Structure 1
């Protein structure tokens, strides 16, 4: 943008719009000689200053210019700030050299920066939340597994003091030294099916040991007396906390054992033969009722 005269502004804008003086004359009804005088800044050639101001105003209106700026320049005899226009008067073409305004991208930059900050904060919160919850779960599971492992190791480390004694035809098995419970395991040792009963357990009514279900396992409380019925002691293997109970000397027939579990290290003394005999008779009767021959055949 540079300073130009009023006439130069009018002439350059007319040429830029591709208009001729004759066209301007018809549009605003001003003689061509006066139009030329305006473009040449020859205001003295005009009838009077009044006409000069009137012609400038009409000419500016026709070209779409701000007549107030031109009139102020006329009154003050000053130049007009105007966009540079390269004029090719020979071919009647013009090229306006406009200075592009430099747009400010700061608001967009700040908006993007704030958005990224918000997204980053949300992402960090979600990541931290998910990480903390994922990390807590394995710790809990690991802690539970460790407790179970310690409990299992404690049970395995509890070596029992096991004794087997037969008094008046009654076989007593005493297991002492357990802290809380004793693990009873009865496995079928041969390929022949047999049966077992264990009082105060799920096998109290009798349980068949077959190829599909060859074992019975139960945790027994301490300081208690259990009655174990065996269809044939020679067909099973009995263990307490993983320790084998020797049953080789028992006859190959239905036998009832009296198992006593104790937390004390000393063995309990066997019961009287009369009491044991009555118990064995009672268990034998329960066994006959609980395990009919039809169930064993199945």
Structure 2
């Protein structure tokens, strides 16, 4: 075992990870992780993967990967770079492309003439429209002459009779105050007990329940219900990722956490505080609806 492999193994043990846990976090096969700790790089799929696997290993156990590689660069195998250069073929314009370009040139030459013709058509249409509008006589009131030779204006058909009264406006009914909906019961969380790596919580409150899972660093997370059915398939979550589980239809949820200090749990806005300072632990929450 080389010095760098020893440092990585010690950091893994300090984190409480087994090789199986680290395999789940980094997605690197267990045999490659063991090879890194033993300094056996010949088993790697290629020299390029050696540095990449070591950086993932270091990040997962909280070490500075760049600093680690710089300090132990003498232990690293030499990598070779293959330079492959392919001459780029100059584009060859086909006869069809040349014809297309020629057609486009003709269209561009005739485009100003088309635009001018359209402009003239629009002007003629506008002038014709206004000419027809001005040609129509405005409606005027009819003038009637009575027997005495005095002219008077006939009442317009649109003029309402003088004796006609407008109907009184109906009074609008007063709006009834809306009944306030009953407030949702507050969510309460308490610790029921601990057994090994498992901590059980009791939760009472609203029947509508949402569990927010937020991750601040690489962590392995999985969730099942009271029947062992998956609510969230076990997977590695990275820093900044989050997941929301709807727990309204279940009476119990069981969470399996790897690197638990990197995971924040919130039920209906209430944070769940860890009772045990363990890297890998189980969280069980039993639900009781408030009456």
TM-score > 0.5 by shorter chain = no
Answer with 1 or 2: which has the greater Rg.
Answer: 1
What interval of TM-score do these two structures reach, taking the shorter chain for normalisation? 0.3 to 0.5
Q: TM-score, normalised by structure 1?
A: 0.33
